[in-house]
Amino acid sequence: MHNLHEINWTTQLELQQRTAKYLEKTDRVYLPSKTIEFDRNGELLLFSCENVKNSTIYFKYPYCMYDCTVPIAWYIYFINPFMWKWQVICSIFYFINSLAWMPHVLYWKSLDRKIHKFYLLRGGKYVKIYNMNPTGDSWYSWANINEFHILTEDYEDFADKDEIEFLNKDGSLQYEVQVQLENYVDHHVTVQDEIIYFMKEGIVHQPEIFEMVLRGYNINLNKIISKDLCIDSSNFVINTENNLRYMEPHHNQ
């Protein structure tokens, strides 16, 4: 027969360990100055950008220069204008065709780190990040706001979160902002200390909240109106209008 007190003690200990693992203690909490309106999915669009449209895809220097060596290698291999030995022309042919395209492909891969859409999730603690690659494929992942570490304008060091200024008076970005995430999920693979980019050409839809999120502040969605923990949850509303069709391109992309 099992000891009931031992079972209760074990259960409480397991619960305490799990709570300590996921319980986050922070004083970086920001209360918005106006009511937040979430959509039907409980998301608030903070930033959007056509990252592929605003990037140079095919003729980005110096990657296009490496691509130009491929037809030169083919010409040397088939024509051999310098009458080199076959060992030389074969080495040039296989070496260039194997490696010359790689820098350009890695550059294409880096474009999906330029954020396509950026949402605040209901609760004010997590964000939803949409990425898009040059082929038009998009996917999303989630990130913890407290794991945001904004970089300086020269991208050489971490910035003081409370001192750095990266928004203009009209709410647009002054420069391409880089943020390092402690944990970032890329195609179901967790990557640590990954840097994401907010392009200057993007649109900041909620400048106040966007700024505080990049500074690492959780967004407080409740107004405490007394010291007795009497909470009024009127600091946000949810738009329940069913005016978005399923699989609408602008809604999903």
Element (H, E) at 44: strand 43-48
Q: Could you tell me if 128 and 196 lie in one domain?
A: yes
Burial 29-64 (b: 16+ CB within 10 A, else e): ebebeeebebbeeeebbbbbbebbeebeeeebeebe
Is 8 a member of any domain? no
pLDDT tens per residue across span 160-189 = 999 999 999 999 999 999 999 998 888 888
Residues linked to residue 197 through DSSP beta bridges, in sequence order: 114, 178
Q: What is the pLDDT of residue 28?
A: 83
User: In which residue ranges of the chain is pLDDT below 50?
Assistant: 225-227, 229-231, 252-253
Q: What is the pLDDT of residue 81?
A: 92
Q: What is the pLDDT of residue 22?
A: 59
Q: What is the pLDDT of residue 225?
A: 46
Q: What is the pLDDT of residue 233?
A: 53
Element (H, E) at 139: strand 138-144
Q: Could you tell me if 216 and 232 lie in one domain?
A: yes
Is 192 a member of any domain? yes
Q: Could you tell me if 35 and 101 lie in one domain?
A: no
Q: Could you tell me if 121 and 137 lie in one domain?
A: yes
246: number of Cβ within 10 Å: 6
Q: Could you tell me if 196 and 81 lie in one domain?
A: no
The pTM of the whole model exceeds 0.75: yes
Query: Structurally, how many domains does the chain consist of?
Result: 2
Structure tokens at 171: 């709410």
Is 57 a member of any domain? no
- Give the span between the Cα atoms of 179 and 197, in whole angstroms: 7
In 3-state terms, what secondary structure has residue 76? helix
Q: Could you tell me if 97 and 212 lie in one domain?
A: no
Q: What is the pLDDT of residue 234?
A: 58
The separation between the first and the last C-alpha atoms of the chain, rounded to the nearest angstrom, is 58
Q: What is the pLDDT of residue 16?
A: 72
Is 15 a member of any domain? no
Residue 96 is part of which domain span? 63-108
